[in-house]
Amino acid sequence: MNSFDFHNPTKILFGVGKLEQLGEQVAACGSKTVLLVYGGGSIKKTGLYDRVLTQLADAGVRTVELPGVEPNPRVTTVRKGIELCRAEGVDLILAVGGGSVIDAAKAVAVGVPYEGDVWDFLMRKAKITAALPLGTVLTLSATGSEMNGNAVITNWEEKLKKSFGSIYAYPQFSILDPTLTYTVPADQTVNGIVDMMSHVFEQYFSLTPDTPLQERLCESILQTIIENGEQALADPEQYEARANLMLCGTYALNGGMISVGVQTDWATHAIEHEVSAIYDIAHAAGLSVLFPNWMKYVYRSRPDRFVQFAVRVWNIDPAGKSEEEIALTGIQATRDYFTRIGAPARLADLGIGDSEIGRMAKEAVKFGPIGSFKVLHEEDVKAILQLSL
């Protein structure tokens, strides 16, 4: 196990009816003017928008709105939010939505006190040293953004998708009511499942020795997602399946709690960001295509970890199989599960051909080689993308 620091100050309010505590949470932040950040308007159809406004009115705060955050949130939208905050004297950001909405809200929060352009943080040209306080109401189980300090933002003009992470970007509070995910369509539920499983993969496949607790925690989350994912798809209003998925999504990426002292990988995320920066596909659709191919490309770095994955996560019977066979069976089980829940297996399924592979591979390693389980250079990224066509 490596040395580490861990600090996750986000307060979670989880369960049916927790939305009714939104007003008091906002009041506890001492807020007078809130920026309400949301997406394409589904929260208006479901009635959540009205419920949130009632809570904010009861808390006696003025509300300014930033609607229309995109599924791959754009820096242009973030800049609009920052201007709004400065013009209106906003003192609290409230994100109501999934990971994209929360990520955009985080970028607004860190951008307001910064004199330069917020994109500097994404290009690692400046360090985040302050932020407006942030609260969230989660409507989609997926990214874990509700309990961490990370955000992914797209610069559509430059075809770039980059991320930042900062202790200042952790939400002060996050309201997690599983019933708010009942209306999430099947395809987005699938995306959420793939996304949270991918977050665990990035932390589980590691060369760091002697991390049994972290490995067991990762396996715990994967097992629970696998069981509850199919239940939630079969019966979208089954509370327990939705609640278990929601908790898994949060724990899968809550500041690295399950991978403290572990060197994590994140190469597959880096590659996917280049795909969705160009093609504007759902992040999880790209991950579903790429991850089993990344696994096939890298498993020889440490076959025993893939054997453990096969046996402990997928219940593969190792009897009579070679290490390689067990590892490959586990990887195939991952692909089969993704296929069973309706996630794509090939870039072709997303209408993507080989024309941009060179550009994506080059951009993925722009800041240097990626990954740690196997360090990937431009040629490796190209090979994984070729495998994924």
Q: Which residues contribute to the site for a copy of itself (CB under 8 A)?
A: 1-18, 209-210, 212-213, 216-217, 219-221, 223-224, 227-228, 240, 243-244, 247-248, 251, 257, 260-261
Residue with Cβ nearer a copy of itself (2 or 322): 2
How far is 245 from 354, CA to CA, in rounded Å? 35
CB of residue 141 to a copy of itself, shortest distance in Å: 12
- Tell me if 223 sits within 8 A of 335, measured CB to CB: no
- State in angstroms the smallest separation of the CB of 258 from a copy of itself: 9
Minimum distance from CB of 28 to a copy of itself (Å)? 12
Inter-residue contact 33 to 64 (CB < 8 Å): yes
The answer to whether 197 and 288 have CB atoms below 8 angstroms apart is no
The residues, ordered by sequence, that sit 6+ positions from 129 with a Cβ below 8 Å of its Cβ are 168
From the CB of 58, what's the least distance to a copy of itself, in Å?
Answer: 20
Kind plus residue range of the DSSP H or E element containing 175: strand 173-176
Our CB check for a copy of itself shows the closer of 105 and 243 to be 243
In the complex, least distance from residue 279 CB atom to a copy of itself, rounded to whole angstroms: 34
Matching residue, tokens 């509700």: 146
Distance, in Å, from the CA atom of 266 to the CA atom of 73, rounded to the nearest integer, reads: 20
Q: Which is nearer to a copy of itself, 30 or 351 (CB)?
A: 30
Indicate the residue among 17 and 353 with the shorter CB distance to a copy of itself.
17
DSSP 112-136: TT-SS-THHHHTTSS-------EEE
Pick 9 or 41: Cβ nearer a copy of itself: 9
Dihedral sign (CA 323, 324, 325, 329): positive
Closer residue to a copy of itself (CB): 219 or 363: 219
Residue that has been written with the tokens 């809200």 in this structure: 105
Q: Which helix (H) or strand (E) holds 28?
A: helix 22-28
Which residues, at least 6 apart from 325, have a Cβ–Cβ distance to it below 8 Å?
A: none
Q: Which is closer to a copy of itself, CB of 63 or CB of 238?
A: 238
DSSP state of 345: -
Minimum CB distance to a copy of itself smaller for 54 or for 223: 223
CA R_g for the chain: 20
Is the distance from CB of 83 to CB of 76 less than 8 angstroms? no
The residue (of 147 and 298) whose beta carbon lies closer to a copy of itself is: 147
Token representation of residue 103: 């990520």
The kind and range of the H/E element at 65 are strand 62-66
**DSSP secondary structure, 141-198, as one string:** SSS-GGGSSEEEEEETTTTEEEEEE-GGGS-SEEEE-GGGGTT--HHHHHHHHHHHHH
